[in-house]
Amino acid sequence: MSDLGNLLRITAVVGAFHLLVFGLLWKNIQVATLRYEISELKSQKKEKHLELERLKSSVARYYNAENLERLYKQKYGYVPMEVSQKIITVRLGATRKNK
């Protein structure tokens, strides 16, 4: 009976050791996977930031009316309107309430 007890103890110790090793390996694999994902996301973030900066510079370049009109002519074959047909926007100052 004592041989069976010793065999069970050894099996339990070996099993616990294997579980510990497996747990450590699993943890290290998970950490490595997460680090890889983090580096990929940082790379994507950098690419998106560069794309955003390019878009901002494009908006700034095309923001004035002459450039917008030139772009519209190039893309859609726009024919300029006569002065009498143009629509203008007038901004009025804030109105004050009479007291």
The pLDDT tens digits for 26-63 are 999 999 999 999 999 999 999 999 999 998 887 777 67
Confidence (pLDDT) at 83: 64
Confidence (pLDDT) at 84: 67
**pLDDT digit string, tens, across residues 55-90:** 888 777 767 777 777 877 888 876 666 666 667 777
| pTM of the entire predicted model | 0.49
Confidence (pLDDT) at 51: 94
Sign of the CA dihedral with 52 first, then 57, 58, and 62 last: positive
Stretch 12-18: mean pLDDT? 96
